[in-house]
């Protein structure tokens, strides 16, 4: 391993400084310390950190309950997490799924809200984007999580039937419109009556997760 690192040195994905050749980390110690875990108190619905109360201002204004029972994330999407996700999604580094998936699995394991959830579905990519990227980053994360015997991935039960433009530059209402009708259930018998955890790499407004949850519930998913 020492000789491998002479020719292919390990570097921090954010600051690009060298990492000790024996380390399995993807960030240097300084950058890793800058990661901000999402901890209580947080909104019971969307999972956003809040100062007090049960729900954030946005969720308190909702006229109808969201289709997702609740949304939870591991970290605030700031630097250096932004750099890690960018490398994972856009710079052909699927091996990062191992670290990110383990972080997600740990969050699921310590959170009692998930005790009745044992099935995973990764947010599907449109065929065009999947062909361009070569892998579905959410599927790789789900596969890592499912190496724990408490979880199982439901595969090939849902597809993305709409080649939606990237959500990155859209506001909340535009995202909601953009993703509407994007998913189709292929195998409702795999969905009916199950409590399902939806796996995605980044949550911004939650529009994608809510649309997917809506589609799954229409096919008989319990939660």
Contacts of 22 (CB under 8 A, 6+ apart): 1
Q: Which helix (H) or strand (E) holds 183?
A: strand 183-185
| pLDDT of 7 | 46
The pLDDT score that the predictor gives to residue 6 is 47
Closest CA to 101 of 90, 113, 85: 85
Pairing mode, strands 183-185 and 158-160: antiparallel
- What are the CA-CA distances from residue 51 to residues 39, 70, 204 (Å)? 11, 18, 19
The answer to whether the beta carbons of residues 204 and 179 sit under 8 Å apart is no
94 within a domain of the structure (yes/no): no
User: Can you give the residue range of the structural domain that contains 140?
Assistant: 117-223
The Cβ-side half-sphere exposure at 85, using a 13 Å CA radius, reads 16
Give the angle subtended at the CA of 121 by the CAs of 213 and 220, to the nearest 5°: 45
Q: Is residue 98 in a domain?
A: no
Number of folded domains that form the chain:
1
Which of helix, strand or coil describes residue 153? strand
H helix or E strand, kind and range, residue 184:
strand 183-185
Assess if residue 201 is contained within a domain.
yes
In a domain, 39, yes or no: no
Per-residue pLDDT of the chain (223 residues; tens, 9 = 90+): 444 454 456 899 999 998 876 678 999 999 999 999 999 999 999 999 999 999 999 999 998 899 999 999 999 999 999 999 999 999 999 999 999 999 999 999 999 999 999 999 999 998 888 998 999 999 999 999 999 888 999 999 999 998 887 788 788 888 999 899 999 999 999 999 999 999 999 999 999 999 999 999 999 999 9
Question: Taking Cα atoms as reference points, which of 149, 144, 33 lies closest to residue 98?
Answer: 144
Is residue 198 domain-resident? Answer: yes
Examine residue 61 and state whether it is found in any structural domain, yes or no: no
Query: Is residue 84 a part of any domain in this protein?
Result: no
pTM: 0.91
Judge whether 133 lies within some domain. yes
């Amino acid at each position: 391993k020492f000789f491998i690192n002479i020719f292919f040195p390990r570097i921090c994905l954010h600051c690009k400084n060298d990492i000790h050749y024996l380390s399995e980390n993807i960030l240097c110690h300084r950058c890793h310390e800058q990661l901000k875990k999402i901890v209580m108190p947080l909104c019971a619905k969307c999972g956003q950190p809040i100062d007090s109360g049960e729900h954030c201002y946005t969720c308190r204004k909702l006229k109808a309950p969201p289709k997702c029972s609740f949304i939870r994330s591991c970290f605030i999407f700031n630097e250096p997490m932004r750099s890690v996700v960018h490398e994972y999604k856009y710079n052909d580094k699927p091996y990062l799924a191992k670290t990110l998936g383990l972080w997600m699995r740990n969050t699921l394991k310590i959170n009692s809200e998930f005790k009745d959830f044992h099935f995973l579905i990764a947010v599907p990519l449109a065929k065009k984007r999947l062909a361009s990227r070569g892998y579905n980053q959410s599927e790789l994360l789900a596969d890592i999580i499912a190496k724990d015997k408490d979880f199982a991935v439901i595969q090939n039960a849902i597809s993305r039937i709409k080649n939606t433009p990237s959500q990155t530059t859209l506001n909340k209402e535009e995202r909601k419109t953009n993703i509407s009708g994007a998913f189709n259930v292929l195998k409702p018998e795999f969905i009916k009556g199950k409590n399902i955890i939806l796996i995605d790499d980044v949550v911004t407004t939650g529009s994608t997760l809510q649309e997917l949850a809506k589609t799954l519930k229409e096919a008989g998913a319990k939660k």
